[in-house]
Every structure is written in structure tokens, then in C-alpha cells.
Amino acid sequence: MTIRVLSIIGTRPEAIKMAPVIKALAASPAVEGVVCATGQHRQMLDQVLEIFAIRPDHDLDVMQVGHTLNSLASRIFEKIDGLYAKVAPDVVLVHGDTTTAMAAALAAFHKGIAVGQVEAGLRTYDMQRPFPEELNRRAIDLVAKHLYAPTESSRRNLLQEHLVSDRILVTGNTVIDALLQTVDRIHGDAALRARLDKSFEFIDRSRRLLLVTGHRRESFGGGFERICDALARLGERGDLEIVYPVHLNPNVDTVVRERLAGARNIHLIAPVDYLSFMYLLDRAEAILTDSGGVQEEAAALGKRVVIMREVTERPEGVEAGLAELVGTDPDLICAAVERALAGAHAQAKLRQMGRTLYGDGQAAMRILGDLTGEAPVFAEARAS
């Protein structure tokens, strides 16, 4: 007897982290896997789906220009009842902390459908940082029957909240599954590697590469202005190439391009596809970010990370000394980047440490095994 599992994704990060799970479900004779894209992100979501060769069975197409969190959630709620009636899933799988995941999980709970939360238990215990993700994640975890915690720290958070222990399984993070598969692909495909090299031939290989990402709502306005001031100072060093794929949100894009136009040694580029971002991440010596997933991906590749936030729901990297929290103060950012670059020479040791923090690349198989009741068959471990 098969079980019908409906995986729901809406944003690029969700698609990346759910891709290994969706592929594992599709390969199992014990599962009838169905995929729905809400379209919360459109262009960036479609890029990831193409890279992982995933074709959604359903698309709610909820994205509208200038939507608010409330209008987005209301459109998902409005459309998703019909989807659940049509698919009749045994389990709805969602990921993380997005509006898509929250609305889909609550709607499934209202219909009496079991919910699986892939990446459960991450917490800052500050409702404003990250906003609205902290609330979304807690709401999903409350209604989920299957809580797939990426780390022991996440499991402890769930237990502290008195969630039933037999609902919780520590799996590792699926983002590491996706990362290892993709980096292996880049390293093993000479033609792909050559194409990526050519795409980024504007980066001076004689200089050290600092990769930057930034998009958090809590930094809109003055926060991004301070981040730009820090980047302008770092660009004056002369030994750095700074590559910043700028988020499309006008609250980010407008400020960054106005304040950093013409800045030395800074390449402001359009958002890149997942393969290209993994290439840049693999090539960089240090990472400056406010992203949660990038903290994990960088750790698995042995990269030091400077986190432009006051708190993080992924404390493992900070506790291990791979990451440093600095907020958006330019002085703190510049000093932390200096420390990160100084420690980048120990990359092999850092990679070995990072592989133990967030997963071993087998999270999707553990989730599949839990849903089917079968012991997962793991692939051979990769060399560090």
C-alpha cells in the first residue's frame, strides 16, 4: 500500500531544501509523490525547479506585484482547500518558515491532514528577528505530526516546548543533501565547470573572494545603508573581490545600487541561479550574509561566515567558531570579515568540522524512511 505525500513549495530556498526529499519520494515505490508550487517566488523558484528537474503537478500562482504578507497568505488559504480536495493527501510536507509553509500547514491541520515539517525546531525566541519567520516556524511545528529536526539543538527546542518526543526525528538538514549533490556535479562535469568559469571571468582570481548576500526585512532602511557603508570600506582594501548578487526586493536593490554604484572592487550582480551560487560559494574564501541557509551551506564547505544579524536560529556554527554574529554595524562587520579571512587558510579542518554541524547528506532518506516505516538505505559517505 502506498501513501500519498503532497510536497508544497513556494520560494527558492524551499525548493532547494525540498528537492532532495521530492526526488527521494519520487523514487520510492511505497510513495505516490505529488508536488505543488504556490509561486510565492516566481522566477527564482522556477530556476531551482529546472536545475533539479522537478515539474510541479499543481501551481497555485499566487504571486502578485506588491503583495503583502496578509494578502499572500489569504490567496494561499483561498486556493489550497481545492488542492487538498483534489489530491486527497495522506501527508502534507512543508519546509521551514515561509508564508507558503505556514498557510499550507494550517490549512492542512484544519482539514485533518497530517503535516510534516522539514526543518523543525529552529528558534531565536525573538518574534521580530527574523520577522515573520519566527512566528511561522513555531505555528507549523505546533500543528505538525512529523517534526524533522535538522540538529540535536533543534530537537531540544521542540522538547522544551513540550512537543511529543515521538513526533521528532533528527535528520540533518536537507540543504546539505542538495549542496553536496550540486557541488559534486560542478566538480565532476568539466563542461559545466568551464561554463561557470566563463560566466564569472570578471572576478580577478589574484584577489580573495568575499561573497555577500542580504535580504532580511529587519535590515530594511538604515540596516542596509550601514551594510553598504561596510562593503564600500572593505572594497578599498585592494586585495578583495566582493561579489554581491542583489536581492530583487526594492527595499534592498534600490539602496544597494544607489550607495554602492561605482564602489571599488564590488560587483553588484543580478540574483544568480542555484548552480551559479554554489559555484561562487565553493570559490569564496569568506561569506558575509544574513541568510539562514547560507550559514549551513558555508559551514559544510568549510567557509567562515560573518552573519549580519543580531540573533540566529542556527547557533551551531557560532558555537563551533565557524560563524560570527555582528549585526549591521560597519565597524563590527569590517573587523569580523578581517578575522574570517585570516582564518580561511584552515579550510580543510573547517570543512571537516562543518560537515558534523548540520547534516551528512542523508536527511532526505531519513525522512523517506520515517514516512514509509522502512529503514533508509544510505548512499556511500563522501570524502571531505
117-146 per-position pLDDT tens digit: 999 999 999 999 889 999 999 999 999 999
Q: Give percent of the chain with pLDDT exceeding 70.
A: 97
Q: Which of 59-63, 113-117, 268-272 has the highest mean pLDDT?
A: 113-117
For residues 153 and 158, give the distance between their C-alpha atoms in angstroms, rounded to a whole number. 9
The pLDDT of residue 241 is above 90: yes
Confidence (pLDDT) at 363:
96
Q: Helix/strand/coil (H, E, C) string of the chain?
A: CCEEEEEEECCHHHHHHHHHHHHHHHCCCCEEEEEEECCCCCHHHHHHHHHCCCCCCEECCCCCCCCCHHHHHHHHHHHHHHHHHHHCCCEEEEECCCHHHHHHHHHHHHCCCEEEEECCCCCCCCCCCCCCHHHHHHHHHHHCCEEEECCHHHHHHHHHCCCCHHHEEECCCHHHHHHHHHHHHHHHCHHHHHHHHHHCCCCCCCCEEEEECCCCHHHCCHHHHHHHHHHHHHHCCCCEEEEEECCCCHHHHHHHHHHHCCCCCEEEECCCCHHHHHHHHHHCCEEEECCHHHHHHHHHCCCEEEECCCCCCCCHHHHHCCEEECCCCHHHHHHHHHHHHHCHHHHHHHHHHHCCCCCCCCHHHHHHHHHHCCCCCCCCCCCC
The pLDDT of residue 321 is above 90: no
Confidence (pLDDT) at 287:
97
Confidence (pLDDT) at 215:
83
pLDDT tens-digit map of 53-105: 999 999 998 877 778 899 999 999 999 999 999 999 999 999 989 999 999 99
The pLDDT of residue 10 is above 70: yes
Confidence (pLDDT) at 166:
92
For residues 335 and 357, give the distance between their C-alpha atoms in angstroms, rounded to a whole number. 25
The pLDDT of residue 381 is above 70: no
For residues 312 and 151, give the distance between their C-alpha atoms in angstroms, rounded to a whole number. 14
Right CATH number for 3-172+362-372 from 3.40.50.150, 1.20.1260.10, 3.40.50.2000, 3.40.50.2300?
3.40.50.2000
Domain range 198-354, CATH class: alpha beta
Confidence (pLDDT) at 66:
76
On average, the pLDDT of the chain sits at 92
Q: Give percent of the chain with pLDDT exceeding 90.
A: 76
Of the two residues 115 and 271, the one the predictor is more confident about is 115
Confidence (pLDDT) at 309:
93
Whole-prediction pTM value?
A: 0.88
Q: Domain boundaries in the chain?
A: 3-172+362-372, 198-354
Confidence (pLDDT) at 383:
40
Strands 208-212 and 168-170: unpaired
pLDDT tens-digit map of 215-226: 887 878 888 899
Of the two residues 221 and 315, the one the predictor is more confident about is 315
Domains 3-172+362-372 and 198-354 share a fold: yes
Query: In the predicted model, what is the mean pLDDT of residues 274-287?
Result: 96
Place 38 in a pLDDT band, splitting at 50, 70 and 90. Answer: very high
Place 347 in a pLDDT band, splitting at 50, 70 and 90. Answer: low
Confidence (pLDDT) at 377:
72
Confidence (pLDDT) at 382:
52
Cell 554574529 belongs to residue: 325
Q: Which residues are catalytic?
A: 97, 119, 133, 215, 217, 247
Confidence (pLDDT) at 380:
58
From residue 150, how far is each of 26, 111, 261 by CA, in Å? 22, 27, 39
Lowest pLDDT segment from 9-23, 138-152, 349-363:
349-363
**Contact (CB, 8 A) for 282 and 186:** yes
C-alpha 374, offset from chain centre: 28
Confidence (pLDDT) at 384:
42
Question: What angle, rounded to 10 degrees, do the helices at 292-300 and 174-188 form?
Answer: 50
Q: Is 328 exposed, middle or buried (0-12, 13-18, 19+ CB in 10 A)?
A: buried
**Contact (CB, 8 A) for 89 and 5:** yes
The pLDDT of residue 26 is above 90: yes
